[in-house]
Chains A and B, each alone.
Chain A
């Protein structure tokens, strides 16, 4: 029996998840569309004055990104659980850590990355302060993987529950709040032309902590859910 290397096993799962997502495009388009709709509704709701909009722009973009991620979390393990392929993955001769990390990376590529790509365009709509664009991109780049990683823990815990949607939001949203606070604070600070490396460092710390620890929590949660 040829033993797959960790890298090959990782690539196998990512490739499969991307292939499934591209054949089932709703999964990619829906969260992105939700993100765009929420952000574009705000100028209509609060009025087009650029001072108000640029004041609340960081919050709007980040809250919308957070909710869009929450909306997309379900497909992370749900369909694999329902058709039995999750069981097969847990029984494969690879560390569950690798498989879980691969699924989370695929999830980020399909939800986090499109959000980052479209965010600058939406920031223009909201009159985001010119000097804030760098901070917006950096916080999204470090922050959206955290949303996928922490969200995966919640999904893994609720995957066996029929209607776990509300429970999932209750579990996951409190964990998202630190990222939201530091990310919007970094963007606000950047608008005042002040250094924002402090907030960025904290988001980076949260990112690396969740990157190393979340897959273990997810593996344990999946074992409980499939028990």
Chain B
């Protein structure tokens, strides 16, 4: 490719990556967001995707999660193309987009229980999980009465129960207070140490040790 649009700090070369992006190209509204993007994500990685607004961070995450199709290129999950193993991949995937996926008509606990059950997790400890995200006392409050940050917390609560290896999180810290961010970062680290990986976008500086965070930088490209 003539112009390199993404530079990747590869800190470790892994033989058996969880996710591998191969020649990804994304075009939106006749503008090339990124072109021939290659990277691998292995167990234990925390990958932060950086770039200005409109650089294609969300598009990249959606492509990685299999929600959008790239214009060109392929994603491999454990060296097999995503399309060939949708259900096995979704079993190992937790994707949280910038919409929290919380229903106004249901209470905080019902929302969490539904999300857990939908992804095949036990719902028994939903109450305890809500206390992890500081929503104790709001279990029976309808989501329509809760704030944006609390909606975000309901959807993030799933992280504490998740057994999925791959976490793809689009701006997980939006509307979350400082203490909450600290707690989430500790959780990410713990998840990575347990053999999982985290791919996230955020405009905040992570306070995680620099050697643990891989960065993928997308530049804004003018067509």
**A interface, CB within 8 angstroms of B:** 1-4, 9, 12, 16, 19-20, 23-24, 79, 82-85, 87-95, 226-227
Report the separation of the CA atoms of residues A90 and B99 in the bound assembly, to the nearest whole angstrom: 14
A84 and B99 contact, Cβ closer than 8 Å, known pairs A20-B106, A24-B105:
yes
> Do residues A91 and B93 form an inter-chain contact, with CB atoms below 8 A?
yes
**Chain B 102-119 near chain A by CB (<8 Å), digits 1 or 0:** 111110001000110111
A95 and B93 contact, Cβ closer than 8 Å, known pairs A2-B121, A4-B117, A88-B118:
no
Report the separation of the CA atoms of residues A12 and B118 in the bound assembly, to the nearest whole angstrom: 8
How far does the Cβ of A67 sit from chain B's closest Cβ, in whole Å?
A: 26
Question: B95 an interface residue at 8 Å Cβ cutoff?
Answer: yes
Question: B163 an interface residue at 8 Å Cβ cutoff?
Answer: yes
| In the complex, chain B residues whose CB is within 8 Å of the CB of A89 | 118
Interface 9-residue window, one of B37-45, B46-54, B63-71, B176-184: B63-71
Report the separation of the CA atoms of residues A3 and B120 in the bound assembly, to the nearest whole angstrom: 5
Report the separation of the CA atoms of residues A85 and B103 in the bound assembly, to the nearest whole angstrom: 8
30 interchain pairs, CB-CB under 8 A: A1-B91, A1-B121, A2-B120, A2-B121, A2-B122, A3-B91, A4-B117, A16-B103, A19-B105, A20-B105, A23-B105, A82-B99, A83-B99, A83-B100, A84-B98, A84-B99, A85-B101, A85-B103, A87-B95, A87-B99, A88-B95, A91-B95, A92-B119, A93-B119, A93-B120, A94-B87, A94-B118, A226-B67, A227-B68, A227-B69
Report the separation of the CA atoms of residues A84 and B118 in the bound assembly, to the nearest whole angstrom: 14
> Do residues A16 and B120 form an inter-chain contact, with CB atoms below 8 A?
no
Across the A-B interface, give the 10 residue pairs with the lowest CB-CB distance, nearest first. Answer: A84-B99, A84-B101, A93-B90, A85-B101, A93-B91, A23-B105, A20-B105, A88-B101, A92-B118, A1-B163
> Do residues B93 and A83 form an inter-chain contact, with CB atoms below 8 A?
no
Chain B residue, CB-CB nearest to A89: B118
Scoring B68, B105, B118, B163 by chain A CB atoms within 10 A of each residue's CB, the highest score goes to B118
Report the separation of the CA atoms of residues A121 and B223 in the bound assembly, to the nearest whole angstrom: 64
Report the separation of the CA atoms of residues A24 and B87 in the bound assembly, to the nearest whole angstrom: 33
Report the separation of the CA atoms of residues A90 and B98 in the bound assembly, to the nearest whole angstrom: 16
Question: B17 an interface residue at 8 Å Cβ cutoff?
Answer: no
| In the complex, chain A residues whose CB is within 8 Å of the CB of B101 | 83-85, 87-88
Report the separation of the CA atoms of residues A167 and B104 in the bound assembly, to the nearest whole angstrom: 28
Per a CB cutoff under 8 Å, which of A20, A85, A91, A94 touches B65? Answer: A91
| In the complex, chain A residues whose CB is within 8 Å of the CB of B73 | none
Report the separation of the CA atoms of residues A91 and B82 in the bound assembly, to the nearest whole angstrom: 12
Other A-B pairs beyond A12-B117, A84-B97, A93-B91, 19, CB < 8 Å = A1-B91, A3-B91, A3-B120, A4-B118, A20-B105, A20-B106, A23-B105, A23-B106, A79-B103, A82-B99, A83-B101, A87-B97, A87-B99, A91-B65, A91-B66, A91-B90, A93-B88, A227-B68, A227-B69
A19 and B99 contact, Cβ closer than 8 Å, known pairs A1-B121, A12-B118:
no
Chain B residue, CB-CB nearest to A5: B120
Report the separation of the CA atoms of residues A24 and B105 in the bound assembly, to the nearest whole angstrom: 7
> Do residues B120 and A91 form an inter-chain contact, with CB atoms below 8 A?
no
| In the complex, chain B residues whose CB is within 8 Å of the CB of A82 | 99
| In the complex, chain B residues whose CB is within 8 Å of the CB of A16 | 103, 106, 114
Per a CB cutoff under 8 Å, which of B67, B117, B120 touches A227? Answer: B67
Report the separation of the CA atoms of residues A90 and B68 in the bound assembly, to the nearest whole angstrom: 12
> Do residues B118 and A83 form an inter-chain contact, with CB atoms below 8 A?
no
Of residues 54 to 85 in B, which have CB atoms within 8 Å of A's CB atoms?
Answer: 65-69
A88 and B93 contact, Cβ closer than 8 Å, known pairs A83-B103, A226-B67:
no
Report the separation of the CA atoms of residues A58 and B69 in the bound assembly, to the nearest whole angstrom: 47
| In the complex, chain B residues whose CB is within 8 Å of the CB of A19 | 105-106, 110
> Do residues B117 and A87 form an inter-chain contact, with CB atoms below 8 A?
no
Report the separation of the CA atoms of residues A95 and B86 in the bound assembly, to the nearest whole angstrom: 9
Report the separation of the CA atoms of residues A85 and B114 in the bound assembly, to the nearest whole angstrom: 10
Report the separation of the CA atoms of residues A197 and B72 in the bound assembly, to the nearest whole angstrom: 53
Chain A residue, CB-CB nearest to B104: A83
> Do residues B87 and A95 form an inter-chain contact, with CB atoms below 8 A?
yes
Report the separation of the CA atoms of residues A40 and B200 in the bound assembly, to the nearest whole angstrom: 57
> Do residues A1 and B120 form an inter-chain contact, with CB atoms below 8 A?
yes
| In the complex, chain A residues whose CB is within 8 Å of the CB of B95 | 87-88, 91
Per a CB cutoff under 8 Å, which of B65, B90, B104, B163 touches A92? Answer: B90
